[in-house]
Amino acid sequence: LWQAQNEEELSFSKAERLHIVDKPSDDPDWWMAVNSTGQSGLVPKNYVQVEQSRANGSGGQLLPDKQQPWYYGQITRSECDQLLGQFGVDGDFLVRVSETNVGDLSVSMKAPGRNKHFKVHVEGTTYRIGQRKFNTLTDLVEHYKKSPIYTSPQGDKLYLVKALTRP
């Protein structure tokens, strides 16, 4: 049993499964985790045993959001536009940390004419674009591969196609 020492930490018991959502580089001894009831908080990594993903009906555990090929983290909008412009084809996208809204993210994609940037509002353990909420960034990305992330006034639909290949 790990007992939280303050409101930033998450208590958990032995054999409890936690979903690790972040491994902050500024605090390498602590990981951000979410438990089965959706509570989140920091846990000491030396108390956590990483479970190797087991293949199941859905093809095994997906990579944590921050290890996905589309997650670029701390890059600026202008760096992002440069990468998409130089190396991307229409439909290529990446997820980055928002420059303007602390704690939020942006989905940036190469689109015909010019790149598009969509704000992802992070609320606790959910990710929101407009009114639609997702439990993980991966769920959000997979949704917008099947449903348009943007529809123009002329009816043109934009979908996320694939992660921008790192140069």
- Predicted confidence at residue 146, as pLDDT, reads 95
Domains 1-48 and 65-163 share a fold: no
Angle subtended at Cα 109 by Cα 104 and Cα 115, rounded to the nearest 5 degrees: 105
Q: Which two tokens stand for residue 56?
A: 């199941």
Distances (CA, A) of 90 to 63, 82, 97, 143, 149: 25, 14, 21, 18, 13
Rounded CA separation 89/109 (Å): 9
Under 8 Å between Cβ of 31 and 22: yes
- Predicted confidence at residue 36, as pLDDT, reads 75
Closest C-alpha to 137, from 80, 95, 100: 95
- Predicted confidence at residue 64, as pLDDT, reads 65
pLDDT digits (tens, 9 = 90+) for 104-144: 999 999 999 899 999 999 888 889 998 899 998 999 999 99
Closest C-alpha to 107, from 146, 54, 149, 147: 149
Report the residue count for the chain: 167
Identify the CATH class of 1-48: mainly beta
pLDDT digits (tens, 9 = 90+) for 9-32: 889 888 787 877 777 778 888 888
Average pLDDT score, the chain: 85
- What CATH superfamily is the domain 65-163? SH2 domain (3.30.505.10)
Residue spans of the domains in the chain: they are 1-48, 65-163
State yes or no: pLDDT of 8 exceeds 50.
Answer: yes
Q: What is the pTM of this model?
A: 0.62
Burial-class residue 121 by CB neighbours within 10 Å (0-12, 13-18, 19+): middle
